[in-house]
Each structure stands twice: as C-alpha cells, then as structure tokens.
C-alpha cells in the first residue's frame, strides 16, 4: 500500500473511531504533539487534547459518513457528514432534535501518526437546527 493510500486509511479510521467514541484508540493514532485547529479553544496537545475534545461533547450519539477523501503528500482531506443526537451544542439545548451537518478535516500525517488536524464544520447550521436565534447587535453611539 502506498503511503498516500495508508494515510487515507488512517484518516478514515480516525472518523470511524470518533463515531464509535473510542477515545484511547484515537489517542494511539496521534502524535504526542498533535494539535487541532478549528475545534474548541485551548485544547492541549497530544492525547490529552483528544480526551479534552471528547470532554466537550457530553453524551452524544453520532455517525460520520465520509463523502470524499483526497490526499497529496503527507496531507489528507476528508469531507464528511455527521448525524448526531446530543443534549446540547455550544450551550444550546437540543430538546431531542437530531442534528446533521457537514465538516471538512485536513490531517497532516507523518510516519503513520496524525500530527495536526484542521477542522471546518457547519457549526452555525447546526445551531440553527437546534432553534438558536441571532439578533443583530446595536451599534454603539460615537463618543
């Protein structure tokens, strides 16, 4: 298997393990210095970052379905859809609503370990599915 194909398999496995909530197996897939961009702020590096990430979820049932995997060199891009049931998201209660949203991940993989992950997800769409409402701010009067 070429390194690109091996890296694609690692990226697919990453989302499978997220769906299965297998935190310790995810910790084995990443480097001790792993970092995530576009996730919750101030995640620690490495396995503690994975554990902290899952600590932000609370009780969740989720399934990731992969729609595209594109790789070049040591980077793999995954476009996926998540269907989940979670008590709340970013403080907005779900009231039992199922949420579906899309996301893209870019994994930097070196020697079989994910060293960095970039996440870009439709978090706004997810909040709207939960019934969140946004109101425009009132501009401050000049002083």
**81-97: average pLDDT:** 87
pTM for the predicted model, two decimal places = 0.88
What CA–CA distance (Å, rounded) separates 33 from 114? Answer: 9
* 25-69 residue pLDDT tens: 999 999 999 999 998 899 999 999 999 998 887 778 899 999 999
* 90-122 residue pLDDT tens: 888 888 889 999 999 999 999 999 999 999 999
CATH number belonging to the domain at 3-129, selected among 2.40.37.10, 3.10.450.50, 3.30.750.24, 1.20.120.420: 3.10.450.50
The domain locations on the chain are 3-129
What CA–CA distance (Å, rounded) separates 61 from 75? Answer: 28
What CA–CA distance (Å, rounded) separates 86 from 116? Answer: 26
């Amino acid at each position: 298997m070429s390194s690109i194909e091996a890296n694609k398999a690692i990226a697919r496995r990453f989302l499978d393990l997220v769906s299965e909530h297998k935190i310790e197996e995810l910790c084995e897939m990443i480097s001790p210095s792993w970092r995530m961009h576009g996730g919750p702020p101030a995640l620690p590096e490495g396995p503690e970052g994975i554990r902290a990430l899952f600590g932000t979820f609370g009780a969740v049932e989720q399934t990731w379905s992969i729609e595209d995997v594109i790789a070049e060199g040591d980077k793999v891009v995954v476009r996926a859809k998540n269907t989940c049931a979670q008590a709340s998201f970013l403080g907005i209660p779900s009231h039992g609503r199922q949420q579906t949203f899309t996301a893209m991940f870019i994994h930097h993989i070196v020697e079989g370990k994910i060293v960095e992950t970039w996440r870009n997800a439709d978090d706004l769409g997810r909040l709207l599915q939960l019934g969140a409402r946004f109101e425009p701010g009132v501009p401050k009067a000049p002083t």
